[in-house]
Amino acid sequence: MRAIAANKLRSILTTLGIVIGVAAVIAVVSVVQGLQFLVTGIFEGVGATYVIVFPLRPELPQETRARQVKLTWADGQAIRAQVPGIRDITPLVAGASEVKYGDRQRKPDFVIGVAESYQDVMNHSVETGRFFSKIDVEAQHKVAVLGSKMVDGLGLGAKPIGKQVYVGNYPATVIGVMEHKGQALGQDLDNLVFVPFDQAVLLFGREATDQVQLRLQAASADRVDQVRDGIRQLLRRRHRLGKDDADDFRIIVQDEILKQVTGFLSGLTAVIGGVVAISLLVGGIGIMNIMLVSVTERTHEIGLRKAVGARRQHILLQFLIEAMTLSLVGGLIGLALGYGLGALVTAVVPAQLPPAHVPLWAMALAVGFSTLVGVFFGIYPAGKAARLDPIEALRVE
């Protein structure tokens, strides 16, 4: 440590490559892992039995491409009636519309039309009041359930239940406020408005009924594949698709979503990590160069140590430990700096990223790899120092 401290500026410049490399890796990993942690939490929240069905325009020949691709709530009701193993299902149609209360108005991220089963399917419940019921849907009651930010933005006060708002031209009574969920994938889940599906159709127009998403829960995790196959067979029959026709819908189960997202984020981490590893390589070469200079400058010291009894392994270990220390200190500084950069990125970028998250394996990898760089690039200078002849070394001034 004294030898390193004796040349502070040179030591700082030597470790700079390691610091930059490790900081870049940790910053990237912290942001990506934060995203992965958030996504995993979202989909684990809805359970392993969660299934999504949405309309998909297949690659059809030009002459048949004009056929309108439809997925309707009638399809969803047929799925509920004919496919075994389904616990709950809800349609989902979303659109944009301003919400007004008195002289105040606020635009939610989305106005969403769903069935009364939405809470059970999505594991997203009301905190105050209630969600609309089957009676509300059948009687076509004009009701709405708001996210907490909508309540604050409209100035509905501490007792919003029972107050009248306008969702576009649709007058609605507020019957509930949803529990706080926060940000998820760029969408504010507290800035939403929920209305009964039939009322959403009136609000968004009849075209909305042809482009419905279906969200459902299978009865158990081991029945998800059976449910998926049953839905596919039923929808192909209902949509009159031929044997050679591609599906005009897509069915996604939770495991597929997690695999796709995790695979993408892991690939992104690997690619960026590989590019940044070049910086660690450059940092290692810098350490080797400085250690070679240090051996030349301290030739007399090495000769003196050997003259009073130091063996080759003592000299080798001395210079190897110096190289490892330089590299390890650089790795630790880079670790702290990288986490700080990751936290800064998530705080400053307007994309509503989740908090930075650095897993233990990333910390261990950063420190371990930087130490390994010190060992690898310190071996040659240390070996050169250990091989010096003590008599020749003592002659050097």
DSSP letter assigned to residue 179: P
Q: Does some domain include residue 113? A: yes
Each residue's pLDDT tens digit, 369-394 = 777 877 887 787 778 888 877 777 67
Q: If we measure between CA atoms, which residue out of 201, 207, 146 comes closest to residue 172?
A: 146
- Taking 90 as the threshold, does the pLDDT of residue 186 lie above it? no
38-47, 51-60, 89-98, 173-182: segment of lowest average pLDDT: 38-47
Q: Does some domain include residue 342? A: yes
State the CB neighbour count (10 A cutoff) for residue 286.
19
Task: Name the domain boundary from 220, 247, 274.
Answer: 247
> The tokens of 157 are what?
């006060």
Q: How close are the terminal C-alpha atoms of the chain, in Å?
A: 24
153 with 221, same domain: the answer is: yes
388 with 288, same domain: the answer is: yes
For residues 282 and 289, give the distance between their C-alpha atoms in angstroms, rounded to a whole number: 11
For residues 187 and 311, give the distance between their C-alpha atoms in angstroms, rounded to a whole number: 66
Question: What are the residues facing 140 on neighbouring strands?
Answer: none
3-class secondary structure, 180: coil
Query: Which domain, by its residues, includes 222?
Result: 57-247
Whole-prediction pTM value?
0.61
For residues 18 and 232, give the distance between their C-alpha atoms in angstroms, rounded to a whole number: 53
Q: Does some domain include residue 52? A: no
215 with 307, same domain: the answer is: no
Q: Does some domain include residue 199? A: yes
- Taking 70 as the threshold, does the pLDDT of residue 149 lie above it? yes
Model pLDDT, residue 65: 46
Q: Does some domain include residue 289? A: yes
141 with 73, same domain: the answer is: yes
For residues 295 and 1, give the distance between their C-alpha atoms in angstroms, rounded to a whole number: 16
Which pLDDT band, with edges at 50, 70 and 90, does 49 fall under?
Answer: confident
Each residue's pLDDT tens digit, 23-36 = 887 887 777 777 77
68-98 burial, b at 16+ Cβ within 10 Å, e below that, comes to: eebbbbebbebbbeebebbbbbbbbbeeebe
289 with 326, same domain: the answer is: yes
Q: What is the DSSP annotation of 126-173?
A: EEEE----HHHHHTT--EEEE-HHHHHHHT--S--TT-EEEETTEEEE
299-310 burial, b at 16+ Cβ within 10 Å, e below that, comes to: bebbbebbeeeb
The set of residues, in sequence order, having a beta carbon less than 8 Å from that of 8 and lying 6+ positions away, is: none
Question: What are the residues facing 97 on neighbouring strands?
Answer: none
67 with 200, same domain: the answer is: yes
Which pLDDT band, with edges at 50, 70 and 90, does 268 fall under?
Answer: confident
Q: Does some domain include residue 92? A: yes
Which pLDDT band, with edges at 50, 70 and 90, does 291 fall under?
Answer: confident
269 with 360, same domain: the answer is: yes
The set of residues, in sequence order, having a beta carbon less than 8 Å from that of 42 and lying 6+ positions away, is: 184, 185
Q: What is the dihedral of CA 235, 240, 241, 243, to 10 degrees?
A: 110
Mean pLDDT of 265-280: 72
75 with 34, same domain: the answer is: no
> The tokens of 315 are what?
């000299």
Task: Name the domain boundary from 247, 267, 287.
Answer: 247
Q: Does some domain include residue 252? A: no
Mean of all residue pLDDT scores within the chain: 81
The set of residues, in sequence order, having a beta carbon less than 8 Å from that of 98 and lying 6+ positions away, is: 105, 106, 107, 168
269 with 180, same domain: the answer is: no
204 with 280, same domain: the answer is: no
Task: Name the domain boundary from 224, 247, 270.
Answer: 247
3-class secondary structure, 218: strand
User: What is the bridge-based pairing of β-strands 213-218 and 99-101?
Assistant: unpaired
Q: Does some domain include residue 254? A: no
Domain count of the chain?
Answer: 2
- Taking 70 as the threshold, does the pLDDT of residue 351 lie above it? no
236 with 377, same domain: the answer is: no
Each residue's pLDDT tens digit, 218-243 = 888 788 889 999 999 999 999 888 88
The set of residues, in sequence order, having a beta carbon less than 8 Å from that of 351 and lying 6+ positions away, is: 186
Which pLDDT band, with edges at 50, 70 and 90, does 350 fall under?
Answer: low
For residues 66 and 103, give the distance between their C-alpha atoms in angstroms, rounded to a whole number: 45
Q: Residue 111: enclosing H or E segment and its boundaries?
A: strand 110-114
Helices 8-45 and 360-386: crossing angle in degrees, nearest 10, is: 150
159 with 128, same domain: the answer is: yes
